[in-house]
Amino acid sequence: MKKIVLLGASGSIGSQTIDVIVSHPEEFDLVAFSVGHNINKVHEILEKFPMIQHIGVADEKDAIELKKQYASIEFYFGDKGLCQLANLDGYDTFISAIVGFRGLEPLLEAIKKVKYIALANKESLVAGGPLIKKALNDYNVMLLPIDSEHSAILQCLQGNNISEIDRLIVTASGGSFRDKTRAELTNVTKEQALKHPNWKMGGRITIDSATMANKGFEVIEAHYLFDIPFDKIEVVIHSESVVHSLVQYRDHSVIAQMGSADMKIPIQYALSYPRRLKMYGDKPFNFMDYPELHFQIPDFERFPLLALAYEVGKKGGNLGAIMNGADEEAVSLFLEDKIKFLEIEDYVIQAVRQCRFIENPSLEELIASDLDSREFVRQMYEARETVK
């Protein structure tokens, strides 16, 4: 039985991870978890796992209040609390389902403690890929992807040799505005952007899907997960989200992984790897529901953040941390109705162009780069507001 620490239990991936664990009590045991501000989720999870002794929350005041209700449980808070959960003894599988750069430090701490990492926090690899790869090698830890695209690639690689790969083909839905021209994006609203046609996801990742920044981050993630150069990683827009990714080998054979747009499938595969467990509570995929499948090459001028991600990934250094931090901050401004949709791209591009580049950053320098890029975006916004 795998003993699991789950960060981000109240989000979309975290909630579906709980469902997978509950469906297979003979396979998995949740021993600790974190949530953000959704304290109701703490009570819900404790009803299912009453023996849990370690829980993290965002705010200290929530930790204090919860301690009054659950005296036998140890509560942690803030980013420090995430690292404390990662450093617990007595577990072997760490799941990072939190969003953003803040997942990097607890991930590096967890690598020192466990055998398996199941990763849904792509921002960690985008910002700190070389540090994570070194830590995985130093501690002989297996990293398994939860993102549907990278899970698909992992499944397509089974029984094959990575040296025989010709290219990885990462599919993209195209997001909420995939059929709109740039001219039509001028005045789109937050509400429109959050209506993803295929997937149910959190706010930031849904907006990143619409700008294709998320797909760019997934290209960088694929590079570090599978040790494939960027010129062998391609993106294809596939509006049905049935083919989750493909691998083409040097003999021109192409292997694809297909299935429903259901994140429980890659979550469960990451937890049970290399076995496949029965999936409960989900309708099996039916080919007849999709008599046609469509594919098209993305236009880099239409999606400049996808183009930028390739540039950032190839140059490396601290640029991943800068791009991710700027994107997090710009998306927040958009979700707060402070900037327009297309301005997200401008803020991120300017941050990557103007923030200080560091070729071989330490963890401390990556943390500083993340903070600097966020401050750059805030100052850029304030300067534009002053001009108005």
Annotated binding site for Mn(2+): 147, 149, 218
Helix, strand, or coil (residue 207): helix
Cα Rg of the chain (Å, integer): 20
Helix, strand, or coil (residue 134): helix
CB 326 within 8 A of CB 352: yes
Binding residues for NADPH: 11-13, 36, 38, 121, 123, 202
CB 56 within 8 A of CB 33: yes
Please provide residue 223's backbone torsions phi and psi, each rounded to the nearest 5 degrees.
Answer: -60, -45
- HEC string of 322-352? HHHHHHHHHHHHHHCCCCCHHHHHHHHHHHH
Angle at 181 between CA 328 and CA 210, to 5 degrees: 25
DSSP assigned state of 278 = P
CB 170 within 8 A of CB 235: yes
Binding residues for 1-deoxy-D-xylulose 5-phosphate: 122, 148-149, 173, 196, 209, 214-215, 218
CB 352 within 8 A of CB 378: no
Burial of 381 (0-12, 13-18, 19+ CB in 10 A): middle
Distance CA 113, CA 333 (A): 37
Q: At what angle do helices 341-354 and 319-335 cross, to 10 degrees?
A: 150
Please provide residue 107's backbone torsions phi and psi, each rounded to the nearest 5 degrees.
Answer: -65, -45
Distance CA 309, CA 351 (A): 13
Closest to 55 in 3D by CA, of 187, 284, 65: 65
CB 32 within 8 A of CB 6: yes
What does the block give as tokens for 282?
A: 């989900």
Binding residues: 11-13, 36, 38, 121-123, 147-149, 173, 196, 202, 209, 214-215, 218
- Within 8 A by CB and 6+ apart from 9, the residues are 15, 17, 18, 33, 34, 35, 41, 45, 97
